[in-house]
Amino acid sequence: MLLCAEMYGDWHPALPLVPMVEIAHNGSLIVDDIEDGAVQRRGEQAEHIKFGMDLALNAGNLMYFLPARVIDTASYTDAQRLLLHRFYVEDMVRLHFGQGLDILWHRDHENIPTEEQYREMCRLKTGGLSRLAARAAVIAVGGQEDTAGSLGRIAEQFGACFQIIDDVKNLGPGVPGKKRGDDIIEGKKSLPIILHLNRHPEQKPRIREFFEIAGGADEKAAWAAVEELIDLIAPSGCLEEAEQQARELLSETNGNLEAFAPACKARDQLIELVDLLITG
């Protein structure tokens, strides 16, 4: 957010908005872990396990509303605040549409999304708050709404890249703070799974069975199914292809940012930061 603001002026006016995105993001993680039945987040117990379902739900919902106070207590004009409130609602709605798609595919193991449907889910679910950060930054420094919209679309693609890479890592080396393959436990139909089934559609019944076992009550059998499914898909090259797609999308998005945003140190730092976050 601050680098986006600096591209169009001084980053200081955007500083009061930084908690807006972070609070909403953390609230969405609490709710996401409840919906997925996840037991771990950032190397510790998920909030609903640690503190109970009631407190976790209340905290997650509270963190959706607190950003409104962030906007209202900052020193912006009425016109700026109106746009910021609108942007916040729009992008939180998009986030929840994306999460809704993800949940729909979790529950129905016959329903395998297409590559484009999966990428759209990533743009909505994970790209939404990136989009919000970029758009809010432009408005905070007095920029135009059309500039905010264009920069937001670029930022949304950065978020999609991050989600694809995160999903690849989950089925590969693992994601720090989470158990390797827990996406399978949660029933996620991530890009590597989709690409593997595109190559081997005859394996759909077998993969469906692995998902059903992984989502069952027998924990030992569930994690055994996770490892068997990963062992099944890895030789097809689907993990490498998914990662390559993410890197190509990242390269394209970097090019779009370079073509659109003013040439400046902040723009170059933003590209470096996103590269570090996505490619590690």
Tens-digit pLDDT profile for residues 35-44: 888 888 888 9
Range from 55-64, 73-82, 107-116 carrying the lowest mean pLDDT: 107-116
By mean pLDDT, which of 142-156, 170-184, 209-223 is the weakest? 170-184
Residue type (1 letter), 164: I
How big is the chain, counted in residues? 280
Identify whether the C-beta of residue 168 lies closer than 8 Å to the C-beta of residue 242: yes
Instruction: Assess whether pLDDT exceeds 90 at residue 279.
Output: no
* Contact in structure between 70 and 173 (CB atoms under 8 Å): no
pTM: 0.90
What are the structural domains, with CATH classification, of the chain?
2-166+250-279 (1.10.600.10)
Q: Are 161 and 242 within 8 A, CB to CB?
A: no
pLDDT of residue 249: 93
**pLDDT confidence bin for 5, thresholds 50/70/90:** very high
Query: How far apart (Å, rounded) are the C-alpha atoms in residues 15 and 79?
Result: 18
Between CA 93 and CA 214 the distance in angstroms is 30
